[in-house]
């Protein structure tokens, strides 16, 4: 049997050609691959919208071959337009949110039914804390009613806890896109991408000097990060055009006052840095602390 480990940027890394009971499940579980129910294949978690993980793919190929399978590789690390990638992410996030909302509704209905069952069981328990009459003909019935009430409450609590957990996941999924495009998040992502590109450029140069040839891996990583950086810089420019202020070393001076909680409190700037300001915290007796520009929500001039 020939298996194919396939990777595309938006599709992620998957194992194609496996079948139930053929022995691949034991190997993939050991390697911590995940079964993707939506498309019915084994895959590497979080491999979508990323370059291929050479180490994990090589390890999987070796393990499958040792188990007696023939394995071929089909790796495509072509990075599509980042705008298309983000649109696909948003579409998946919306689908995930809708699925979780439906699941939350089902679990809430189960919880309601479980509480009704408990109410019915509780109604069979003698009222007013009546003690069990040992030796009386009602003893067995009384004990059974208490046990049913205990069991139904335990079940209702368990189902309600699961319903609450799913509801929290659904709510988080609803706000996922908003958090991803939050101005602070966007600004921090830009800083991270810029730092990554600088680090990978240094690694690429060092590797070329040591081995005498270019690293395709670092070249691909730099190209990917550069495309992402251009996209998120465009997003930040649009936010600025919409009036969402962006603070930096050119707009804040020593002695100014800045707020990170939308104007409720202000702290004095004692030093202006390239990516942050050092402030004296008013509520902490002047203790100094760094605040990233992306977290600043309001300013007041020194005057």
Digit-coded pLDDT (tens) for 160-199: 999 999 999 988 888 887 888 888 788 889 989 999 999 9
The answer to the question of residue 80 being in a domain is no
Q: What are phi and psi of 180, to 5 degrees?
A: -65, -30
Residues 89 and 166 in one domain: yes
Distances (CA, A) of 217 to 101, 224, 234: 40, 11, 26
Residues 212 and 266 in one domain: no
Task: Please give the tally of structural domains in the chain.
Answer: 4
Q: What is the mean pLDDT of the chain?
A: 89
The C-alpha angle 202, 207, 208, rounded to 5 degrees, equals 100
The answer to the question of residue 93 being in a domain is yes
Report pLDDT for 24.
92
Residues 186 and 167 in one domain: no
Reading the block at residue 245, the tokens are 């202020």
Digit-coded pLDDT (tens) for 140-156: 888 888 889 999 999 99
Report pLDDT for 225.
94
Residues 172 and 185 in one domain: no
- Mean pLDDT (whole number) for 274-300: 85
- Domain boundary residue, one of 160, 176, 192: 176
Digit-coded pLDDT (tens) for 127-139: 777 787 787 877 7
Residues 152 and 117 in one domain: yes
Reading the block at residue 152, the tokens are 């139904």
**pLDDT > 70 in the chain, percent:** 99
How far is residue 256's CA from residue 250's CA, in Å, rounded to a whole number?
12
The answer to the question of residue 218 being in a domain is yes
- Mean pLDDT (whole number) for 26-39: 92
Q: What are phi and psi of 22, to 5 degrees?
A: -85, 0
Domain carrying residue 233:
181-241
- Mean pLDDT (whole number) for 50-68: 93
With H, G, I as helix, E, B as strand and everything else as coil, classify residue 29: helix
The answer to the question of residue 248 being in a domain is no
Digit-coded pLDDT (tens) for 84-116: 999 988 888 888 889 999 999 999 999 999 999
Contact 298, 263 (CB under 8 A): yes
The answer to the question of residue 139 being in a domain is yes
- Domain boundary residue, one of 75, 106, 137: 75
Burial (CB count within 10 angstroms: exposed 0-12, middle 13-18, buried 19+), residue 3: buried
Burial (CB count within 10 angstroms: exposed 0-12, middle 13-18, buried 19+), residue 107: buried
Residues 105 and 171 in one domain: yes
The answer to the question of residue 286 being in a domain is yes
pLDDT band at 202 (very low <50, low <70, confident <90, very high): very high
- Domain boundary residue, one of 13, 42, 75: 75
The answer to the question of residue 13 being in a domain is yes
């Amino acid at each position: 049997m020939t298996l194919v480990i396939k990777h595309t940027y938006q599709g992620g890394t998957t194992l194609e050609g496996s079948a139930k009971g053929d022995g691949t499940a034991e190997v993939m579980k050991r390697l911590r691959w995940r079964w993707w129910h939506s498309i019915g294949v084994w895959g590497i978690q979080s491999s979508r919208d990323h370059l291929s993980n050479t180490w994990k793919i090589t390890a999987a190929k070796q393990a499958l071959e040792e188990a007696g399978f023939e394995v071929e590789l089909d790796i495509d690390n072509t990075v599509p337009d980042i705008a298309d990638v983000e649109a696909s992410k948003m579409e998946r996030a919306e689908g995930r949110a809708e699925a979780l909302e439906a699941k939350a509704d089902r679990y809430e209905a189960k919880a309601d039914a479980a509480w009704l069952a408990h109410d019915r069981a509780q109604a069979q328990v003698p009222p007013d804390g009546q003690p069990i009459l040992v030796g009386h003909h009602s003893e067995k019935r009384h004990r059974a009613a208490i046990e049913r009430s205990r069991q139904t409450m335990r079940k209702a609590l368990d189902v309600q806890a699961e319903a609450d957990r799913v509801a929290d996941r659904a709510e988080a999924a609803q706000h996922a896109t908003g958090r991803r495009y939050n101005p602070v998040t966007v600004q921090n992502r830009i800083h991270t991408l810029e730092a990554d590109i600088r680090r990978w450029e240094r690694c690429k140069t060092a590797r070329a000097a040591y081995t005498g040839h270019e690293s395709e891996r670092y070249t691909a990583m730099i190209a990917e990060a550069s495309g992402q950086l251009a996209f998120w810089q465009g997003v930040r420019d649009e936010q600025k055009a919409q009036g969402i202020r962006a603070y930096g070393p050119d707009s804040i001076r020593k002695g100014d006052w800045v707020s990170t909680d939308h104007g409720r409190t202000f702290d004095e700037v004692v030093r202006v840095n390239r990516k942050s300001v050092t402030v004296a915290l008013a509520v902490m007796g002047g203790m100094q602390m760094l605040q990233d520009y992306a977290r600043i929500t309001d300013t007041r001039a020194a005057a």
